[in-house]
């Protein structure tokens, strides 16, 4: 009934955490280089069917992985390359798609996409070997425009232009709808993981930073603010896991549950980011301290894969039976 994670999934998360822990390499390039390590743990193969060199894993496995990548603020197009593009490629017959799928699974290829109007830009297209454009029922191979700077220095956004139609028709429309849900789910998981990291960093700082002769974490104003962050994260996670389970089982409320999870995870992460910066004080505002990596990633991911307003509207549309919950590609 509920979506408790299995011992195997907990082990998977722990292995991923160990892999990404340790000395943190500075900069975007070093972060992107870690994607080869991710492939060794199977992360890049999760959503790819077994027949195409992947693992055919469940959305809950995807959530476990994406949460840990968010926990480490790993640079790169996580929701795009791990979730949305693999789902779209599954709708493509032919050797070209198979080659891409094998490349993604093996960690040789990074992919991204634009999915306008909800996703008008492709994230990290300047680091990707495959860029797609999906519109309504049409999937294009795309050419990215110049990379624009993101609020997250480890991320870029590019406009794209369709070059060649790869597929068109109802199967593509279904895949686009699923890709939007899977991408939103993965980005929600990243946000939850980033929120957890921000809380952990804040607790660590508050225990050691001494002012007025005591750790700042002994002050009630700090304790209560961080307690509220813990509550927000604690109650976002069950929504995330339930959304993954609903997608896995193809349940009709899956779209509603994914939107609820994105709203809750983005809210919890946003509040965690604000509290973390405040608890760290000036050191947290510097580029010399690591905190900004999580802080800016959270800000970048909040509107990605659907704004809070769009997801709240989808929840209400589903609850009030107002026709199809907002056309999938809006």
Partner 1 sequence: MSFRGEVRDWLAVHVPDRPLPSVDTAAGFDRHRAWERELAAARLAVVSWPARYGGRDATLADWLVFEEEYHAARAPARVGQNGLFLLAPTLFAHGTAEQRDRLLPRMARADDVWAQAWSEPGAGSDLAAIRARGTPVPGGWRLSGTKTWSSRAAFADRAFGLFRTDPGAGRHGGLSYLMFDLRAPGVTVRPIRQLSGETGFAEIFLDDVFVPDADVIGAPGDGWRVAMSTAGHERGLTLRSPGRFLAAAGRLVELWQRRGDPADTALRDRVADAWIGARAYQLRCQATAERADAGGPGDGGPGAEASLGKVFWSELDLALHETALDLLGPEAELRDEDDWADGYLFALAGPIYAGTNEIQRTVIAQRLLGLPR
What does 44-97 look like in DSSP terms, one character per residue? GGTTS-GGGTS----HHHHHHHHHHHHHTT--S-HIIIIIIHHHHHTT--SHHH
| 261-272 b/e (C-beta count within 10 Å ≥ 16 → b) | bbbbbbbbbbbb
Task: State the Cα–Cα distance between residues 264 and 267, nearest whole angstrom.
Answer: 5
Task: Select the span of 14-22, 77-85, 171-179, 308-316 touching partner 1 (CB under 8 A).
Answer: 308-316
Give Cβ neighbours of residue 97 (< 8 Å, ≥ 6 apart).
52, 89, 166
Secondary structure letter of residue 43 according to DSSP: G
Site for partner 1 in 241-260 (CB under 8 A): 241-242, 260
> Using the rule CB under 8 A, which residue among 82, 110, 226, 298 binds partner 1?
226
- Segment interacting with partner 1 (CB under 8 A) among 89-97, 110-118, 147-155, 239-247: 239-247
Q: Is 309 in the site for partner 1 (CB under 8 A)?
A: yes
Spell out the alpha helix ranges (H) of the chain. Answer: 7-20, 28-33, 35-40, 59-71, 78, 85-89, 95-106, 170-208, 220-248, 254-280, 291-301, 308-319
Q: Is 315 in the site for partner 1 (CB under 8 A)?
A: yes
To which residue do tokens 């509920």 refer? Answer: 2
Q: Which of 38, 69, 111, 263 binds partner 1 (CB under 8 A)?
A: 263
Residue 74 contacts partner 1 per CB under 8 A: no
Would you tell me how many other CB atoms lie within 10 Å of the CB of residue 289? 15
Q: Rounded to an integer, what distance in angstroms lies between the CA atom of residue 170 and that of residue 173? A: 5
Residue 215 binds partner 1 (CB under 8 A): yes
Instruction: In angstroms, give the least distance from the CB of 264 to partner 1.
Output: 6
Shortest CA distance to 58 belongs to which of 187, 236, 192, 243?
243
Distance in Å, CB of 27 to partner 1, minimum: 31
Q: Which window, 117-125, 129-137, 171-179, 236-244, contacts partner 1 (CB under 8 A)?
A: 236-244
Strand partners for 144: 160
Binding mask 162-201 for partner 1 (x = CB under 8 A): -------------------------------------x--
Question: What is the total residue count of the chain?
Answer: 330
Question: Could you say which of 20, 32, 180, 203 contacts partner 1 (CB under 8 A)?
Answer: 203
Smallest gap, in angstroms, from Cβ of residue 219 to partner 1? 9
Chosen residue from 53, 162, 238, 303 binding partner 1 by CB under 8 A: 238
- Contact pick of 235, 249, 281, 283 for partner 1 (by CB under 8 A): 235
Name the residue among 122, 30, 131 with its Cα closest to residue 72. Answer: 30
Q: How far apart are CA 57 and CA 65, in angstroms?
A: 11
Shortest distance in whole angstroms from residue 118 CB to partner 1:
18
Q: How many chain residues bind partner 1 (CB under 8 A)?
A: 39
| Residue 220 contacts partner 1 per CB under 8 A | yes
| Chain residues 3-32 in contact with partner 1, contact rule CB under 8 A | 3-4
Query: Measured from the CB of residue 281, what is the shortest distance to partner 1 in angstroms?
Result: 16
Neighbouring residues of 260: CB distance < 8 A, sequence distance ≥ 6: 239, 243, 311, 315
Q: Rule CB under 8 A: choose which of 36, 40, 136, 207 binds partner 1.
A: 207
Please list every residue from 104 through 143 that binds partner 1, using CB under 8 A.
none
Compute the least distance from the CB of residue 230 to partner 1, in Å.
6
Q: Which residues bind partner 1 (CB under 8 A)?
A: 1-4, 199, 203, 206-207, 214-215, 217-218, 220, 222-224, 226-228, 230-231, 234-236, 238-239, 241-242, 260, 263-264, 308-309, 312-313, 315-316, 319-320
């Amino acid at each position: 009934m509920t979506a408790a994670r299995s011992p195997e999934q907990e082990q998977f998360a722990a292995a991923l955490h160990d892999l990404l822990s340790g000395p943190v390499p500075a900069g975007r390039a070093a972060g992107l280089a870690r994607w080869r390590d991710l492939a060794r743990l199977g992360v890049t193969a999760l959503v790819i069917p077994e027949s195409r060199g992947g693992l055919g894993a469940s959305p809950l496995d995807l959530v476990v992985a994406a949460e840990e990548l968010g926990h480490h603020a790993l640079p790169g197009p996580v929701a795009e390359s791990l979730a949305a593009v693999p789902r779209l490629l599954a709708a493509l017959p032919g050797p070209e798609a198979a080659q891409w799928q094998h490349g993604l699974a093996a960690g040789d290829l990074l992919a991204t996409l634009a999915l306008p109007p909800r996703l008008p830009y492709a994230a990290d297209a300047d680091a990707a070997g495959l860029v797609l454009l999906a519109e309504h029922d049409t999937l294009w191979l795309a050419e990215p425009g110049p990379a624009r700077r993101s609020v997250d220095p480890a991320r870029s956004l590019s406009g794209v232009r369709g070059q060649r139609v790869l597929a068109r028709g109802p199967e593509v429309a279904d895949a686009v709808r699923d890709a939007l849900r899977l991408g939103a789910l993965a980005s929600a998981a990243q946000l939850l993981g980033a929120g957890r990291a921000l809380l952990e960093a804040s607790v660590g700082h508050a225990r050691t930073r001494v002012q007025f002769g005591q750790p700042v974490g002994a002050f009630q104003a700090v304790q209560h603010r961080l307690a509220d962050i813990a509550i927000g994260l604690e109650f976002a996670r069950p929504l995330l896991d339930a959304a993954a389970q609903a997608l896995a089982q193809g349940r009709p409320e899956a779209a509603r549950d994914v939107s609820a999870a994105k709203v809750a995870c983005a809210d919890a992460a946003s509040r965690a980011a604000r509290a973390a910066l405040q608890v760290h004080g000036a050191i947290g505002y510097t580029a010399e301290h690591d905190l900004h990596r999580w802080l800016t990633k959270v800000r970048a991911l909040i509107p990605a894969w659907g704004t809070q307003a769009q997801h709240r509207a989808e929840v209400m549309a589903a609850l009030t039976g107002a026709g199809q919950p907002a056309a999938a590609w809006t």
